[in-house]
Copies of this chain bind each other. A is one copy, B any other.
Amino acid sequence: MSTSRLESFSDGVLAVAATLLVLNVTVPIVGRHETLAHALGNRWHIYLAYAVSFITIGIIWINHHVVFSRLRIADHAILMLNLLLLLWVALIPFATSLMTEYLRKGHGQHLAAAVYAGMFLLMSISFATLNWFILFRRTGLLRAKLSFDERRRIIMRFVSGIVPYAVAAGLAPVSPYITLAICGAIAAFYALPIAAGLPRGSEG
C-alpha cells in the first residue's frame, strides 16, 4: 500500500481525536453561591489538560509524518502496527476526561493520573516499536538507504521519548499534579525549537 492513503486515514484519526478533546471542556453549571468567573477559574486543570493533550497529539502527528516520509510503501505488518498506535491515540480524549474528572476529587486521582500518563506511555512504546520495525525489519521499504548508525540514532531518540512518560506514570501515586506537569513539560520540550532536530531532520 502506498503511504499516502495510510497518512490520510491516520491524519483523519489524529485530527478527530484532537478535536474531540474539546468535548471534555464542558460548560460549567453554576450554582447559587458561585459566579461563572469562579467556576471557569476553578477549571484551570481542564484547560491545561486540553492544551497538553492537544499539543501532544499534534506532536505525534508531526513525528508520524517524519516516520512515514521515510517509507516507499507499507506492508500488512506496518499497517497493523500503525493501527495499534492509532488505537492508543484515539483513547487520549478518554484518558484526558478521566484525569480531569478525578484530579480534584478526594479519591481516585492517583490512578486517574496514572492512566493518563500510561496512555501516553503505551502510545510512545507503540510508536517506538513501529519505528524500530520500519528501520530494522523493513529496511528494504525505505526510500533512502540509512546507515546502521543513523537508524540506531533515530530509534534511540524514540526510545528515550518513552522514559519521561514512564516517570510521569510512576510518580502518579506521589501526586497527580506532578504527572500532569511532566506530561506538559514533555509537550513543551518537543514544541520548543530545542527539540526541532527531529522534524527538521526530515527536510534535509
Binding site for B on A (CB under 8 A): 1, 5, 7-9, 11-23, 25-27, 30, 35-37, 40, 50-51, 54-55, 58, 61-62, 65-66, 69, 73, 75-77, 79-80, 83, 86-87, 90-91, 93-94, 97-98, 101-102, 107-108, 111-112, 115, 191, 193, 196, 198-200, 202-203
Assess whether A65 is in contact with B5, with CB atoms less than 8 Å apart.
yes
Residues of B within 8 A of A102 (CB): 27, 36
Assembly CA distance A108 to B196 (angstroms): 42
Q: Are A27 and B94 in contact (CB under 8 A)?
A: yes
17 additional A-B residue pairs with CB within 8 Å, beyond A22-B90, A76-B199: A5-B7, A5-B11, A7-B8, A8-B11, A12-B14, A12-B19, A13-B19, A19-B90, A22-B94, A23-B23, A27-B94, A27-B98, A35-B107, A37-B111, A58-B80, A62-B76, A76-B193
